[in-house]
Amino acid sequence: MKLAAAFLGVVIASLLTIAMLFTAGWVRPPILSTQVGFRGLAMNQLTTPAARSKLELANALPEAVPPAEPGGPLAVDTYKNVKVLTDLTTVQFNTLMAAITTWVAPNEGCGYCHNTDNLADDGIYAKTVARRMIQMTRHVNKDWKAHVANTGVVCWTCHRGNPVPANVWTNGMGWPQAGGFATTNYGMGHPDAANGSTAMTQDPYTALNDKSVIRVQATKALPANSNGASIFATEQTYSLMIAMSQGLGVNCVFCHNSREFGQWPESTPQRLTAWHGIQMVRDLNGAYLDPLKTVLPASRLGPLGDAPKLNCATCHQGANKPLLGVSLAKDYPELGGTPAK
């Protein structure tokens, strides 16, 4: 009997091992661990060689464009209807246009934004959008160093060779809701990939388009919530945090000490960087992206008529540092990047 039980145990263990190695839902070892917080608190980020290789492949760099030679006439004196890049020389202007084509529309070419028979023509809406995006990129690189530091961003950071970035959002993207008296579940109960397929609100990013304080963690023990946050605000905040975790490819302790989420002194430095990131995204959505709803065609707008907007995943795309920390902006001071010394 004991021999049969031992044999059965070996068989079960073998089957479980096979299932772990070859079926979905299991992670094959080795597991790589990186400490990001205080020792002894399990503040680690976990990954595998396969996941790391996949991330590196997804963050491959674009084909390099030779840098512009200094000097020469200004583009505004060479071309007609230059409205934004008026400070660039003709060579700088042409170099940047070639780079933007590589970053945003490599298959469509110049005709994605321009009337190729008359480059000065503003008849294509994408040209108006591109001007605004160039202004936005310069704004990020010059005025949001609290988040992007000197690494900066370029068009490739978000677009990765696509005219429309893969990770954008609009209001009301979730499942259609019932009418009448059954309209108050705020999108909850319908799992969505935006927040890790949880059953919380499907619009986790709405907090990235306003100025509300994102803070629901109590600073006192037991059920009393010292911040007075509602259940809905708590659900929405947790949904946003999961979406941020997904977008950066990290877990909660990358920014927080899970011993006490509400305490800033016990958090990692990344939490402050993330806070500035939230403020930056709100700024960009409000000042640059949402106003484009009057420029974009109806097919590019969301179900409620708003323009596509940014979230953390738009730039990060699963990496805690966009492009795994590689700075393309240093090679493009034309976009406000800080040149390498």
Report pLDDT for 78.
97
What string of pLDDT tens digits covers the 341 residues of the chain?
Answer: 677 777 777 778 787 777 766 666 667 778 999 998 888 888 999 999 999 999 999 999 998 888 888 899 999 999 999 999 999 999 999 999 999 999 999 999 999 999 999 999 999 999 999 999 999 999 999 999 999 999 999 999 999 999 999 999 988 766 555 555 555 565 566 667 777 777 776 677 878 877 777 777 776 666 555 566 777 778 888 889 999 999 999 999 999 998 888 888 889 999 999 999 999 999 999 999 999 999 999 999 998 899 999 999 999 999 999 999 999 999 999 999 888 76
Q: Tell me what pLDDT residue 205 has.
A: 83
| Residue 286 DSSP symbol | I
Dist CA 161 CA 170 (whole Å)? 21
- How many CB atoms are located within 10 Å of the residue 286 CB? 15
Ranges for all domains in the chain classified under CATH 1.10.468.10 = 62-160+323-341, 167-316
Burial class, 10, CB count within 10 angstroms (exposed 0-12 / middle 13-18 / buried 19+): exposed
CA dist 218 to 101, 159, 268, 295, Å?
49, 39, 19, 43
Collapsing DSSP to helix, strand or coil, 326 comes out as: coil
Q: What is the 3-state secondary structure (H, E, C) of 170-216?
A: CCCCCCCCCCHHHCCCCCCCCCEHHHCCECCCCCHHHHHHCCCCCCC
The conformation of residue 298, written as its DSSP 8-state character, comes to G
Alpha helices in the chain (DSSP H): 2-22, 49-58, 75-78, 90-104, 125-143, 145-148, 155-159, 231-248, 269-284, 312-316
**Residue 73 amino acid letter:** P
- 8-state DSSP, 161: T
pLDDT at 189 (0 to 100):
63
Q: State yes or no: cis peptide before 49, omega within 30 of 0.
A: no
Plot region of 121 (φ>0 → left; ψ -120 to 50 → alpha; else → beta): beta
Stated pTM of the model: 0.88
Angle between helices 269-284 and 125-143 (to 10 degrees): 150
Please report the pLDDT score of residue 187 as a whole number.
Answer: 59
Cα–Cα distance for residue pair 86/79, rounded to 1 Å: 10
81 and 122 Cβ atoms separated by less than 8 Å: yes
Cα separation, 210 vs 279, in Å, equals: 9
Yes or no: say if 322 and 153 are a contact pair by the CB < 8 Å rule: yes
Give Cα 126 distance to the centre of its chain.
22
| Residue 173 · residue 181 · CB < 8 Å | no
SS3 (DSSP) at 143: helix
Q: What is the pLDDT of residue 70?
A: 87
CATH 1.10.468.10 fits 167-316, yes or no: yes
Is 109 in a helix, a strand, or coil?
A: helix
Q: For domain 62-160+323-341, give the CATH superfamily.
A: Photosynthetic Reaction Center, subunit C, domain 2 (1.10.468.10)
CB atoms within 10 A of CB 70: 8
Q: Is the dihedral of CA 332, 155, 293, 145 positive or negative?
A: negative
The confidence score (pLDDT) of residue 191 equals 67
Q: Quote the DSSP letter at residue 33.
A: E
- With contact defined as beta carbons under 8 Å apart, do 242 and 195 qualify? yes
DSSP 244-277: HHHHHT--GGGT--TT-TT-STTS-HHHHHHHHH
